[in-house]
């Protein structure tokens, strides 16, 4: 089997990156934007507001009715959440809540939304 040249490897890497970028952008475009109206509807449907910041951050301020389960504890505490209710994850910037959404989806939660900073609520 012939070996690939440097230019062949570069072309393959560029192709891979291009396809990955396309798939990421396509997925983002399909995501429903979270409007204030949609947020209100979800909360009226009994959505759980899940704040994944540390207890100290949560104590310093949080969204009304939010439930605090720090990101590091989430996997061990999944049983505390109702899988039939929408979950609205938040944190300080959106990074930890994004990770929380991935954990929840892998655990079988079907309606999960990353709201980003808790101040958006």
Q: Which entry of 90, 91, 101, 112 is annotated as an active-site residue?
A: 91
d(CA 89, CA 57): 15
Active site includes 91?
yes
Separation between Cα atoms, residue 95 and residue 64, nearest integer Å: 21
Cα 49 to Cα 29, 112, 120: the distances in Å are 24, 10, 12
**Spatial distance between the Cα atoms of 72 and 85, rounded to a whole number of angstroms:** 22
DSSP string, 54-85: -HHHHHH---TT-EE--GGGTGGGGGGS-TTS
Cβ(90)–Cβ(49) under 8 Å?
yes
Q: Known catalytic residues? A: 91
């Amino acid at each position: 089997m012939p070996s690939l040249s440097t230019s062949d490897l570069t072309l393959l890497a560029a192709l891979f990156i291009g396809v990955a970028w396309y798939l990421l952008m396509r997925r983002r475009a399909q995501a429903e934007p979270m409007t204030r109206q949609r947020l209100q509807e979800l909360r009226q449907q009994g959505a759980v507001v899940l704040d994944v910041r540390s207890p100290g951050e949560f104590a310093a301020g949080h969204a009304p009715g939010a439930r605090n389960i720090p990101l590091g504890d989430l996997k061990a505490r999944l049983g505390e959440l109702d899988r039939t209710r929408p979950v609205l994850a938040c944190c300080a910037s959106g990074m930890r809540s994004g990770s929380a959404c991935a954990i929840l989806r892998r655990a079988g939660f079907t309606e999960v939304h990353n709201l980003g900073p808790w101040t958006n609520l």
